[in-house]
Amino acid sequence: MAEILAERLGEPITVEALWPGSPPTNRVLGRAARIQTVSSVPSLPVAMADLTNVAVAWLVEDEPALPVRLYGDEVPEVAIQMLSARLQQLRKVDEISSTRLAMDWALQDLQLARKLAADHAYDEPTGVQLHRLIAELAQLAGWLAAELGLLRLARSCLLTGLAAARIARDRSLAAYILSGMSYRSIWEGEPEAGLRLIRIARKGTDRDDRGIHQALLATREARVRAALGDRAGCEHAIAEAAELSLDAEPASAKPWVQWVNRAVILADAGRSWLELGCFRRAESYLAHGLALFGDCQPRNRMLHAASLAEARLG
C-alpha cells in the first residue's frame, strides 16, 4: 500500500507513516527492481543507522548490471533534454528564490523521471543518462526537504538518489549524495554517523581525478570533525580541501557540483573553525570567502555573512 500511494502521490511514503509502531521490515526489492528501476525505492528504511548500512553496501558490493528495459514505448530523446534543462533551472530557483517551490517542482520532475524508467524502453546509454537524472533530481529534492525540516522525506529522496546513482554507475554522484547525508547529520545530532558516511564517500571515490568534487568532500569531512571537536582532523581535512581546490577546473565540473568554487571551500572552512570556537581564524576564512563570492550565490552569501557576524561576536 505504501508503494502504491508513493507512486500515485509522487512522493516517498513509508510503512511507518501508514502504520505507526509497525514491526520493522527488512524486505528486499525484487531482482528486476534492483537492477533496472528505482520505482520502489521509497519504502527503504530511513533511520541514520540504515543510511550507514546502505552506504557500506554501496562501497563493497559489486556494481549492478547497466540499466536496460526492452518493453514499452521508447524514451523520447526530448524528454531527457527537458529533464536536463529543468535541473539547471531548478538549481537557479533554489539559489535565488523559494526552497519550497524548488522542492515541489523537483519532486514532480522526479516522479516523471521515475515513471519513464519504470514504464518505457531504453538502451544502456539512455538508461544510464535517465538514472543519473533521477539521482540528481532526488538529491536536489532531498536537500531542499532537509532545509524545510522534512527529514523523513529528505532521507527517502536521498536514498532514492543513491540507488539511482549506483544503477548509473556514477560513483562521484553517489559520493556527493552521501556527503549531503553526512553534512545533514550534524544538525540531526548524529555527527558520529556523519563521519562514517563521509569517510565511506571519500573511500568510494579515492581513485577519481582530483578536483573541486573531492575538495567538497574534504570540506564536508572537516565540518563533521569540527562538530566532533576533532581539531587536528578538521585542520587536516581543510588543508586537503584547499590543495584539491587548487587543482580544480570549473569548466569541467559535473553539473551537480558547478556551484562549488574557491569561495565555497574557504567559507565552509571558516564555518568549521567557527564550530571549533576558533573565532579569529573563522573570521579570516569567512571574510576571504565572502570577498570571492562577488555577486553570485545570494543565499550562500547570506549564510556565510551570518556566520561571519557570529565569529566576530565570538
What does the alpha-carbon distance between residue 134 and residue 237 come to, in Å, rounded to a whole number?
Answer: 30
115-141 pLDDT tens trace: 999 999 999 999 999 999 999 999 999
- Tally of structural domains, the chain: 1
Domain hosting residue 7, numbered range: 1-27+38-43+64-168
Assess whether pLDDT exceeds 50 at residue 13.
Answer: yes
- 211 falls within a domain: no
- 140 falls within a domain: yes
- 277 falls within a domain: no
Task: Give the list of residues 6+ apart from residue 157 with CB closer than 8 angstroms, or none.
Answer: 12, 107, 110, 138, 139, 141, 142, 145
Asked if residues 197 and 55 have their Cβ atoms less than 8 Å apart, the reply is: yes
- 118 falls within a domain: yes
Residues facing residue 121 across a β-bridge: 74
- 231 falls within a domain: no
- The x, y and z cell numbers of residue 236, run together, are 587536516
- 307 falls within a domain: no
Please give the single-letter amino acid code of residue 299. Answer: R
Q: Which residue has the higher pLDDT, 222 or 12?
A: 222
194: confidence class by pLDDT, cuts 50, 70, 90: very high
- 21 falls within a domain: yes
Q: Which residue has the higher pLDDT, 35 or 25?
A: 25
- 290 falls within a domain: no
